[in-house]
Amino acid sequence: MAKPVIMPKLGMTMETGTIIRWFKEEGEPVKAGEVLFEVMTDKINIEVESYETGILLKRYYEAEAVVPVNHVIAYIGEAGEQVPERPPEDAPSGEAGETKTASLSEGRPAEEPPAEGTPAEEGDSGGGKVRATPAARRLARERGVPLEQIRGSGERGRIHLADVEAYLEEHAVRATPLARKAAEAEGIDLRTVTGSGVHGKIMKQDVEAARAPAAPSAADEKMVKLEGMRKIIARRMSESAFTAPHVTLSTEADMTRVIELRESLLPIVEQQTGYRLSYTEVIVKAAAMCLRRHPQMRVQLQGEYIRYVQDVHVGLAIALEQGLIVPVIRHADQKGLAELTRECKTLASLARENKLTPDQITGGTFTVSNLGMYAVDMFTPIINQPESAILGVGRIAEKAVGLGGQIVLRPMITLSLSFDHRVIDGAPAAAFLTDLKRMLENPYELLI
Amino acid sequence: MAKEIREIKAIIERLNLTPERLLALYRQMWVIRYFDEKVDECFAKGLIHGTTHLAVGQEATAAGACAVLEERDKITSTHRGHGHCIAKGADTGRMMAELFGRETGYCKGKGGSMHIADVEKGNLGANGIVGGGIPIAVGSALTSKMKGLGYVTISFFGDGATNEGAFHESLNMASIWKLPVVFFCENNQYGMSGSVKKMTNVEKLSIRAVAYGMPGVTIDGNDIFEVMDATDEAVKRARAGEGPTFIEAVTYRYKGHSKSDAKKYRTREEEMEWRNNFDPIDRFSRRLIELGCADNAKLEELRQSALEEIEAAVKFAEESPQPSFDTVLEDVYA
Amino acid sequence: MREITYLEAVREAMTQIMRENPDVYIMGEDIGVYGGAFGVTRGMVEEFGPERVRDTPISEAALAGAAVGSALTGMRPIVEIQFSDFITIAADQLVNQAAKIRYMYGGKGKVPMVVRTPGGSGTGAAAQHSQSLEAWMAHIPGLKVVQPSTAYDAKGLLRAAVEDDNPVIFYEHKLLYRTKGHVPEEPYTIPLGQADIKRPGKDVTVVATSIMVHKALEAAKILEQEGIDAEVVDPRTLVPLDEETIVNSVKKTGRLVVVHEAVKRGGFGGEIASLVAESEAFDYLDAPIQRLGGLPVPIPCNPELERRVVPQVEDIVAAVKKTIVKR
């Protein structure tokens, strides 16, 4: 009996996975434990091993296909065994599943055409009520085009072949309505534009970018395919940036007292954990405690609802060679600096070794992104969805500040708080930031 | 009208009829009769499908007319044509098999009673259309004349056919071109139910020949000698290039038109009159004895032989295979 | 290559085959010294004599029947029925005898005869002398039916018909007799059952017979001006029909217009439309099939009425346009 290969559930909240690539072709032998395919979830790519030994009899989905968790994506069995022509469907709809990260700027959920190799269901292409010629039906059937979406120009609204062809032509290029308008206005052929949106969808700015004259390309320019983590980051960043209206507030905090605190705690923490306490941990702790006090910062937009998150899990953005990852420190508000230090360092280390598990990178309430090791003061961090706020931390630099009518030099740090203005307003965000500044300037408060 | 014995002898001499030939003809008449009677019986038993038209009582016309033909001569026949078929040399087994719808039949089971033919032996076919074979006979005669082949075609038809347009067209055409055809009308008094007295307004059908400029003669169709004589004369005329002749042979069919005929259009008395007084086989047997060609025992032997032949034919038919459905599309086109 | 008329092409086909084969002869009314009602056989009795170019009485039944009997016994007669309307009188011999003899006799015997007859309207001959009844003959198993539209086709197809061992009904058209075409002088055969694409095209398939081929070609010229490229397919033989050519054409163009002069109801166009709808071409149809045929009336005598009751060039153009949808 052929055994099914299932889209694995790689995280608690995972509902669909996108197949990045297969490592075996149909007909190739597979051993249990061999890597069979690579899957992208919202956060990370995972290489999935086969549970079975046998021949890969059938692959129902190819790269780029989005498959709901628990759906059959392939079969492994003996050579010659019969397997179904089409994957057994669990979901009621015939479509292979939609991604949750809808691009709301165009007002319609992103539609995934069935991956190559999956014929559209008969029902999709026509039903009994649509008037369409046999030729039109045949083409629609072959290309998985739902006839209901096509406007027919024949008698009594009958869909003719040319109508289906026109639809396919229009939709061959995936672009937002804004982008299409822009392209039309600029006289740009959408086929020449590279899309930066979901699955390569052309966004308006892509059209605008295409307007700029192309730089003369040197003969030795490197071309690297956008894939893997880079691709995920690209997608997630753009989704976040274009979904959530970001407002960034910044303030400067006097880190004199924090510096003192750190100096005194450094040897103790090192002795306890083996790691060196850094400013990051202090900022994380302070931010966590402020979050505890500011429930309005702990919100997440979920569809039509605003979820008030109870727990304070703080994510820490870690820069990697290939990109960026955000492991989460759970219950950061309840952990002491020693524990935080240990955890932060451990997570950072795991991150650099690509050993983070999906659970370690999900469930955050708030993210802290520290560029203080660079000559960066203020910046506008992008919110780590589904969170609603992120704290960008700049360098500590000696700056001239006014104090009691005098100009003094103090070690100042710039804090940049980006928040999602859909669910958080300026005042509460400002209040939070004010609190955070005060806590850093009076770190004894961390004890309360 | 019964002839004198000397007239018979004159005919015998004229036509070179040996006693063997006469006895063979006698046997043949029984074969013809028994064939149709057996068909009647088989039909009643449900062994034959469709319908059939029996000529019991008309043996003399079939046997007599075909007796004077050469092998190269041809005939066209009617829906009541088993007798003509047998007289033209057909195998009764294959005929019976055809009626039984078997693949061993003359037409591979596809023709049936009304379409029995043996083209190679000169039987251009029985015909389901009244008068349908008459123009075909004309065509056959046309070939003979155009190619100088010297054969004669006899066109058999009934009294009813003489009212079909095709009959008149054919006689006219054969006459103008002097074609070697003999138009042989078996006037058995009835079309289907239409009595010839009601359906024509002439005393004798043979007068119609005059209309087309050919000789016409009415004869006693139940006297085999008279049939042979008249036919022979017509055949000789035709072969000599003198054109067609119309022969009206008066006869009678004992059975109804077809199986579903209750014979309400005639009386039992009339039937019995013909059976008892004018039966062709009966009359022939008396002549044969009179001529000294055979005794009763011999005649009985011949009759028995005929019966056995028919019984064997039925057995052959019954044991023959049905045609396969695969053959149904065959032979539509040559 | 020289040009001759359709009528001359028919005569030439008969003349050439009669010179080769002594078994071939023609029978019909007034075909001898009169030369035939339309002049097809003019000059032939002088060459072949009255036996082989044989005038008959006005007896279509006997004429057809004699041809059957003659063919059955070894000859290859060509029968001329003066007006195709008179085929009704000959019908028993053609339908019940000629068509069926071979089958009824279990494969014994064959009837290699040809019935040539002119059909069609346009000469003001009125109801009983203007019909197109080819659908009747096409309906009978055992017959073959041919309908050439050009002089070239007529000559080649008539030879094939005479050489065929089966009864063939050869429908000429009165108005086509005077049309001219390039016809090779030597004898040649066009096989029965082979359609001819008279004008290749890619936008719509127009299947037309006999005189409608010419009207379809004219319509194609008009449509070309409007950017519509019509493919005109002439079946040439109705039975056996070249289904493959028709189906492939419709697969290519996705649109079908069928046109014949015969009355639309029960006409052979219904057969063509249906077999296309039943074929794999169905999935390529991008518009409903259009059928054009005569109105269900006897042909009227008045010339304008006579013209209007059968399809004309403008009707074909309109039908083609109905299949094309502008976006």
Residue B158 lies inside a defined structural domain of this protein: yes
pLDDT of residue A216: 60
C129 annotated active-site: yes
Identify whether residues C21 and C158 lie together within a single domain.
yes
Residue C303 lies inside a defined structural domain of this protein: yes
Q: Which residues of B262-297 are buried (b: 16+ CB within 10 A; e: fewer)?
A: eeeeeeeeebeebeeebbbbebbbebbeeeebbeee
Could you tell me if C193 lies within 8 Å of chain B, comparing CB atoms?
no
CATH class of A119-172: few secondary structures
Burial of A426 (0-12, 13-18, 19+ CB in 10 A): exposed
C24-28/C76-80 β-pairing: parallel
- Identify the CA nearest to A67 among candidates A110, A109, A115, A111: A115
Confidence band (pLDDT; 50, 70, 90) for A11? low
Tally of CB atoms within 10 A around A302: 9
Query: What tokens were used for B270?
Result: 């009339």
Query: Could you tell me the CATH number of the domain that includes residue B50?
Result: 3.40.50.970
pLDDT digits (tens, 9 = 90+) for A48-62: 888 888 999 888 888
Cβ contact, residue pair B169, C68, below 8 Å: no
A425 annotated active-site: yes
Backbone angles phi, psi at C250, to 5 degrees: -70, -35
Query: What tokens were used for B44?
Result: 């009643």
pLDDT digits (tens, 9 = 90+) for A313-366: 999 998 888 788 899 999 999 999 999 999 999 999 888 888 888 888 888 999
Identify whether residues C224 and C136 lie together within a single domain.
no
pLDDT digits (tens, 9 = 90+) for C4-49: 999 999 999 999 999 999 999 999 999 999 999 999 999 999 999 9
Domain end residue (candidates: C159, C182, C205): C182
Residue C189 lies inside a defined structural domain of this protein: no
Q: Which of A43-47, C33-37, C228-232 has the lowest mean pLDDT?
A: A43-47
Identify whether residues C69 and C206 lie together within a single domain.
no
Residues of chain A with C-beta less than 8 angstroms from the C-beta of C254: 133, 135, 161
Residue C178 lies inside a defined structural domain of this protein: yes
Residue C302 lies inside a defined structural domain of this protein: yes
Identify whether residues C166 and C232 lie together within a single domain.
no
pLDDT of residue A206: 83
Cβ contact, residue pair A134, C327, below 8 Å: no
- Identify the CA nearest to B37 among candidates B116, B92, B115: B92
Residue B278 lies inside a defined structural domain of this protein: yes
CATH 4.10.320.10 residue spans of chain A: 119-172
Identify whether residues C266 and C223 lie together within a single domain.
yes
Residue B187 lies inside a defined structural domain of this protein: yes
Identify whether residues C246 and C155 lie together within a single domain.
no
pLDDT digits (tens, 9 = 90+) for A152-180: 898 888 999 999 999 888 877 777 777 77
Query: Could you tell me the CATH number of the domain that includes residue C301?
Result: 3.40.50.920
Could you tell me if C39 lies within 8 Å of chain B, comparing CB atoms?
no
CATH 3.30.559.10 residue spans of chain A: 244-447
Residue B260 lies inside a defined structural domain of this protein: yes
- Neighbors of chain B with 3 or more C-beta pairs under 8 Å: C
pLDDT digits (tens, 9 = 90+) for C68-86: 999 999 999 999 999 999 9
Give C 69-108 residues with CB within 8 A of chain A. Answer: none
Cβ contact, residue pair B173, C59, below 8 Å: yes
Q: How far is A156 from chain C (nearest CA, A)?
A: 11
Q: How many domains does chain B have?
A: 1
Specify whether the CB–CB gap between A119 and A86 falls below 8 A: yes
Residue C327 lies inside a defined structural domain of this protein: no
Identify whether residues C177 and C299 lie together within a single domain.
no
Identify whether residues C60 and C92 lie together within a single domain.
yes
pLDDT digits (tens, 9 = 90+) for A124-142: 444 457 889 999 999 998 8
Confidence band (pLDDT; 50, 70, 90) for A96? very low
Give A321's contacts (C-beta < 8 A, 6+ positions apart): none
- The span from the CA of B307 to the CA of B35, in Å, is 8
Residue C190 lies inside a defined structural domain of this protein: no
A-chain residue closest to C284, CA distance: A135
- The span from the CA of C210 to the CA of C171, in Å, is 8
Measured between alpha carbons, how far is residue C29 from residues A280, B298, C56, C172 in Å?
118, 58, 5, 16
Domain end residue (candidates: C148, C182, C216): C182
Confidence band (pLDDT; 50, 70, 90) for A212? low
Query: What tokens were used for B326?
Result: 């695969």
Residue B326 lies inside a defined structural domain of this protein: no
Cβ contact, residue pair A138, C327, below 8 Å: no
Residue B330 lies inside a defined structural domain of this protein: no
Give A337's contacts (C-beta < 8 A, 6+ positions apart): A265, A269, A277, A281, A282, A285, A446
CATH architecture of A3-77: Beta Barrel (2.40)
Complete DSSP assignment for B291-331: HTS--HHHHHHHHHHHHHHHHHHHHHHHHSPPPPGGGGGTT
> Has residue C246 got a pLDDT over 80?
yes
pLDDT of residue B1: 54
pLDDT of residue B56: 94
A246-254/A406-420 β-pairing: antiparallel
pLDDT of residue A118: 37
Identify whether residues C160 and C62 lie together within a single domain.
yes
Query: What tokens were used for A41?
Result: 């979830």
Q: C26 - beta bridge partners?
A: C53, C78
pLDDT digits (tens, 9 = 90+) for A270-308: 998 899 999 999 999 999 999 999 999 999 998 888 999
Burial of A290 (0-12, 13-18, 19+ CB in 10 A): buried
* Residue keyed to tokens 């009978």: C140
Could you tell me if C325 lies within 8 Å of chain A, comparing CB atoms?
yes
Specify whether the CB–CB gap between C60 and C79 falls below 8 A: no
DSSP 8-state secondary structure symbol assigned to residue C95: I
Residue C64 lies inside a defined structural domain of this protein: yes
Residue B141 lies inside a defined structural domain of this protein: yes
* Residue keyed to tokens 């024509």: B200
pLDDT digits (tens, 9 = 90+) for B154-213: 999 999 999 999 999 999 999 999 999 999 999 999 888 888 988 899 999 999 999 999
Q: How far is A160 from chain C (nearest CA, A)?
A: 6
Q: What is the mean pLDDT of chain A?
A: 83
pLDDT of residue A122: 39
A16-22/A366-370 β-pairing: unpaired
> Has residue A106 got a pLDDT over 60?
no
Specify whether the CB–CB gap between A6 and A71 falls below 8 A: yes
Residues of chain C with C-beta less than 8 angstroms from the C-beta of A125: none
Containing H/E element for C294? strand C290-294
ipTM attached to this prediction: 0.84
CATH 2.40.50.100 residue spans of chain A: 3-77
> Has residue A121 got a pLDDT over 50?
no
- The span from the CA of C201 to the CA of A240, in Å, is 55
Specify whether the CB–CB gap between C282 and C302 falls below 8 A: no
Identify whether residues C8 and C153 lie together within a single domain.
yes
Query: Could you tell me the CATH number of the domain that includes residue C178?
Result: 3.40.50.970
Mutation target among C24, C63, C72, C162 for the B interface, most CBs of B within 10 A: C72
Identify whether residues C252 and C313 lie together within a single domain.
yes
- Neighbors of chain C with 3 or more C-beta pairs under 8 Å: A, B
Residue A95 half-sphere exposure toward CB, CA atoms < 13 A: 11
Q: How far is C209 from chain B (nearest CA, A)?
A: 24
Backbone angles phi, psi at C152, to 5 degrees: -60, -50
Cβ contact, residue pair A166, C282, below 8 Å: no
Torsion of CA B64, B65, B70, B73, to 10 degrees: -160
* Cis bond upstream, residue A386 (ω within 30): yes
| Residues spanned by the domain of C31 | 3-182
Instruction: For residues A413-437, give the mean pLDDT.
Output: 95
pLDDT, tens digit only, all 334 positions of chain B: 568 899 999 999 999 999 999 999 999 999 999 999 999 999 888 888 888 899 999 999 999 999 999 999 999 999 999 999 999 999 999 999 999 999 999 999 998 888 989 998 899 999 999 999 999 999 999 999 999 999 999 999 999 999 999 999 999 999 999 999 999 999 999 888 888 988 899 999 999 999 999 999 999 999 999 999 999 999 999 999 999 999 999 999 998 887 777 777 888 889 899 999 999 999 999 999 999 999 999 999 999 999 999 999 999 999 999 998 888 889 999 9
Measured between alpha carbons, how far is residue A81 from residues A5, A30, A88, C111 in Å?
15, 15, 16, 59
Give C 45-74 residues with CB within 8 A of chain B. Answer: 51-52, 56-57, 59-74
Cα angle: A126, vertex A130, A134; to 5 degrees = 70
Q: What is the mean pLDDT of chain C?
A: 96
Query: What tokens were used for B283?
Result: 């009359």
Cβ contact, residue pair C102, B125, below 8 Å: no
Q: Which of B36-50, B138-152, C190-204, C305-319 has the lowest mean pLDDT?
A: B36-50
CATH architecture of A244-447: 2-Layer Sandwich (3.30)
Give C132's contacts (C-beta < 8 A, 6+ positions apart): C84, C119, C120, C121, C171, C210, C260, C261, C262, C263, C294
Domain end residue (candidates: C137, C157, C182): C182
Alpha-carbon Rg of chain C, whole angstroms? 20
Q: How many domains does chain C have?
A: 2
pLDDT digits (tens, 9 = 90+) for C114-161: 999 999 999 988 899 999 999 999 999 999 999 999 999 999 999 999
- The span from the CA of A257 to the CA of C3, in Å, is 115
Q: What percent of chain A has pLDDT over 90?
A: 39
> Has residue A218 got a pLDDT over 70?
no
Mutation target among A131, A160, A167 for the C interface, most CBs of C within 10 A: A160
Q: A49 - beta bridge partners?
A: A35
Residues of chain B with C-beta less than 8 angstroms from the C-beta of C103: 110, 331-332
Measured between alpha carbons, how far is residue C130 from residues B265, C32, C118 in Å?
45, 23, 9
Strand, helix or coil for residue B152: coil
Identify whether residues C135 and C269 lie together within a single domain.
no
Specify whether the CB–CB gap between C1 and C184 falls below 8 A: yes
| Residues spanned by the domain of B19 | 5-319
Torsion of CA C58, C59, C63, C68, to 10 degrees: 170
